[in-house]
Structure 1
């Protein structure tokens, strides 16, 4: 679908988004090295992930939508941004890992920017110190998005993941919150 003149809206994710969010994520599982998951998920398998991102607190799920021009569903999910635990140990509690995933036809429309703007506004009152983003390389669009939001490069894990028969580097970026 070509870029629409309909402006995207951003809101917290809800359980009724689960099918669309799973479909978006599974595209990246099947087609890219953006995620190192190698098997697609059912919505039911993704439910614990969705439920781990409530509407408040440091671990959020923001969803971008637009009016569904087909008139079927009212709105269409364009993508999502999350802040998730950085690591499981308690001392990491003031750090989050952030990510953005867009429907393949929603790129280059500013949706990722809208999502991160809403996510970081929502996190502003939380007891957080740093946000981290791991970006599988190469991914210039993601690097540009993160740098636009003040992330700075801190290092690269070389050949840390193997997918599609080859090894991939992951560059890490951090942002003060």
Structure 2
């Protein structure tokens, strides 16, 4: 009998090909990421290595029956030292797994794991329009703080990005 429970766990290096596959869907088919060319597994290695099983920068996957359904991360917000207690959240799901709670599972676990990790604020950028992502962020206490108008050009047009923030260390 198959185990149909969806579980979250820290990402492993052997997940990187699947994480890259999921990400490349969004590169090729949506404006959600501003990468315009597919990335390679080797090209994503530095990104993967920037995350750790503990500390501020985490990378979690959701899996079911051994198949990775998506991932969420907290990563460096900016490189200057004074920003070190701020992180940027991201979530990417296999396109067939959106809208059924996988993103919520990942964000809940990510926020739980960041408790006590000396993270003060979390930020997230949402390419507009994207009602599902806006709802997800609001559900987890992120508040809209502004919109960068026409900040990225992809697919021959300009896109806005709405920014959200949330306090983490007082949660």
TM class by shorter chain equals over 0.9
Q: Distance in 1 between matches of 2:106 and 2:72?
A: 6
Q: Deviations over 1:91-127 (max 9, x none)?
A: 0001000010000001111000000001001101111
* Equivalent-residue separation in structure 1 for 2:130 and 2:5 (angstroms): 26
- 1:7 Cα shift? 2.1
Query: Normalising by structure 1, what TM-score?
Result: 0.93
Aligned length: 167
Distance 1:120 1:84 in 2: 13
Give runs of ≥4 in structure 1 deviating > 3 Å: none
- Deviation of 1:6 (Å): 1.9
**Root mean square deviation, CA, Å:** 1.2
Query: Is structure 2 residue 45 aligned with structure 1 residue 47?
Result: yes
User: Could you tell me how far apart the structure 2 residues matched to 1:148 and 1:7 are?
Assistant: 23
Q: Distance in 1 between matches of 2:85 and 2:51?
A: 16
Normalising by structure 2, we get a TM-score of: 0.96
Gaps of 5+ in 1: 68-74
> Structure 2 unaligned runs (5+)?
none
